[in-house]
Structure 1
């Protein structure tokens, strides 16, 4: 089973490398930053579950391959895991949609960085995004969601390790570990609170930059001086 464990770890490192390190080396914006240039909690959550689950699938498949199994993908993905992915992905999409609406309707109240000058600490993803307290005060809905997500990720990793240790060979792996319904309900309530926390619109102008300034810094496409060919008189 050592092969499966090592394949799991290497796969996780490769995914993190491709998602975080490579874009920064290429001059692209980090996958953890949103359209405002700020670190995003929903993006972190999606990345965490992607790394854990996709690397686990890769490790189990490689372990079965190394053991001489013909059907390297001959294991199942429990419905609970698919539900978990649906909750995390759906929450990320809804959160992004709320951000777009607010960035367009009240850009002077939304905290953002001027394009090309993205900075900020990693933990700013737990702070308020709008109003005078943006970037200063901890958002309670974000904090609870972050704590619960980290807790569930650690529990699932421990559960996966225990499941792999319980079998003698990779061929004995029947599928990914499932999640209890209680944990799924806890995750759903946490994400619901996180999304509801984005609805209020605090007043005030954030320090350190607004969405208006970021939109003003967007590169403007070059438009031809004469888009319609000039018609010369005969």
Structure 2
């Protein structure tokens, strides 16, 4: 008589991927409804409060989506390497600010003109378009650069040193995909990932290009947030007056600030493209394209 198969129980420290449940869908529907109730109904005559409220609801939607996909509240910032992405954070910040201003600004215009078509006649300044374009290029270019390094093999010594270094810093489960440092599970992602290197050779070390880009993003983001709040605080609403629409366009960013962001992103992508890990092929080391245990 054949003996039954004996299963091996393995402890998986990672949360289940694909945690989306029916309550996520219900809550998402409620938040989308709230996204329009906040500026159009609840705070229709309070432009600044409508702007802030819309931003908060959009942020909650992003948190819900991230939690539903990865099981983690900050999941929307975790990329395919299971690390926190600085490019994703930057794109998220600009998206939330711009979209919240679009919705709240349209609500303000409707209160004055009662014409939905005219209420959406606002324009987006060229400096803001340039800023969003730079962030988009960085978000798309970052994984493109790293993809070229996934086919390159690091030395086993550097892989071992990386794992020892990262395990000493946290309880993560570091591994590698070619020369690119990765984590085994989404739960291994840390906020510090945004400020450290992405290759086997420099993972766990502070990356000044990333730190610089973070500071510039915070600086310009805060400046633009204050510009939006100042603009909305000066809107005067006379419901149904048919007068000039308050929100006709976004604040214009100083070109020097846009240039600062462009230089920062250029340096970030340039540093990312440079080699930070020795190649196994160059010194005869054994192929370590597969993770070292």
Place the TM-score, normalised by the shorter chain, in its bin. Answer: 0.7 to 0.9
Find the residue that maps to 1:197 and give its secondary structure. helix
1:128 to 185, 192, 197: 197
Find the residue that maps to 1:111 and give its secondary structure. strand
> Partners of 1:129 and 1:119 in 2: how far apart?
14
> Partners of 1:59 and 1:146 in 2: how far apart?
27
Q: How far does the alpha carbon of each residue in 1:40-98 deviate from its partner, in whole angstroms, 9 at most, with x for none? A: 11111111100111111111111222334312212221111111111111111111211
Structure 1 equivalent of residue 67 of structure 2: 24
Structure 2 equivalent of residue 111 of structure 1: 181
> Partners of 1:143 and 1:102 in 2: how far apart?
22
> Partners of 1:133 and 1:112 in 2: how far apart?
12
> Partners of 2:290 and 2:252 in 1: how far apart?
45
Tell me if 1:63 matches 2:108: yes
* Greater Rg by CA: 2
> Partners of 1:14 and 1:48 in 2: how far apart?
14
Structure 1 equivalent of residue 263 of structure 2: 189
Q: For residues 76 and 211 of structure 1, do their structure 2 counterparts lie closer, same or farther at Cα, with a shift above 3 Å needed? A: farther
Tell me if 1:148 matches 2:193: no
> Partners of 2:110 and 2:51 in 1: how far apart?
13
**Matched-pair contact (CA < 8 Å) for 2:151–2:178:** no
Structure 1 equivalent of residue 26 of structure 2: none
Tell me if 1:91 matches 2:159: no
> Partners of 2:130 and 2:81 in 1: how far apart?
29
2:248 to 155, 174, 177: 174
Q: For residues 68 and 126 of structure 1, do their structure 2 counterparts lie closer, same or farther at Cα, with a shift above 3 Å needed? A: same
Q: For residues 12 and 93 of structure 1, do their structure 2 counterparts lie closer, same or farther at Cα, with a shift above 3 Å needed? A: same
Q: How far does the alpha carbon of each residue in 1:114-133 deviate from its partner, in whole angstroms, 9 at most, with x for none? A: 2x453132122110111344
Structure 2 equivalent of residue 49 of structure 1: 94
Gaps of 5+ in 1: 215-234
- Structure 1 position 212, deviation (Å): 4.0
Q: RCO higher in 1 or 2 (8 Å CA, sep ≥ 6)?
A: 1
Tell me if 1:9 matches 2:52: yes
> Partners of 1:45 and 1:77 in 2: how far apart?
19
Q: For residues 211 and 88 of structure 1, do their structure 2 counterparts lie closer, same or farther at Cα, with a shift above 3 Å needed? A: farther
- Structure 1 position 35, deviation (Å): 1.4
The two structures have a TM-score, normalised by structure 1, of 0.79
CA RMSD of aligned residues (A): 2.5
> Partners of 2:96 and 2:216 in 1: how far apart?
17
Structure 2 equivalent of residue 220 of structure 1: none
Find the residue that maps to 2:76 and give its secondary structure. coil
Gaps of 5+ in 2: 1-43, 154-176, 239-244, 280-287
**Matched-pair contact (CA < 8 Å) for 2:55–2:96:** yes
